[in-house]
Amino acid sequence: MSSNQHLTLVTICDNRFALLLASLLKSIEAKLSSPTQFDLYLVNDGIHSSTRNKLLRAINPAVFTVHWLSIDETLPPG
């Protein structure tokens, strides 16, 4: 990756898989070879607030900017 790259990730997650998502994001952080920032669009399909806080504490906010979306916001009308 080139220096100071900015990338977008989009995913959906529920409470059961949120900590596995945190592990994936931590792995991405660990493997970065150059400064990279991610906009993470995370569709929240029932992540509890306590789990959400654990996920946010696990990742580096200098690497990941998390944009929380509800499932209703992402579904097309109709």
pLDDT per residue rounded down to tens, the chain (78 residues): 456 899 999 999 999 999 999 999 999 999 998 899 999 999 999 999 999 999 999 999 999 999 999 998 888 887
Element (H, E) at 50: helix 49-58
The angle that helices 18-31 and 49-58 make with each other, rounded to 10 degrees, is 10
Q: C-alpha distances in angstroms, 65 versus 16, 75, 78? A: 22, 22, 30
Compute CA distances 23 → 34, 56, 59, 78, whole Å: 20, 11, 9, 35
Range of the domain at 61: 5-74
Q: pTM of the full predicted structure? A: 0.87
Number of domains in the chain: 1
* DSSP strand pairing (64-70 vs 36-44): parallel
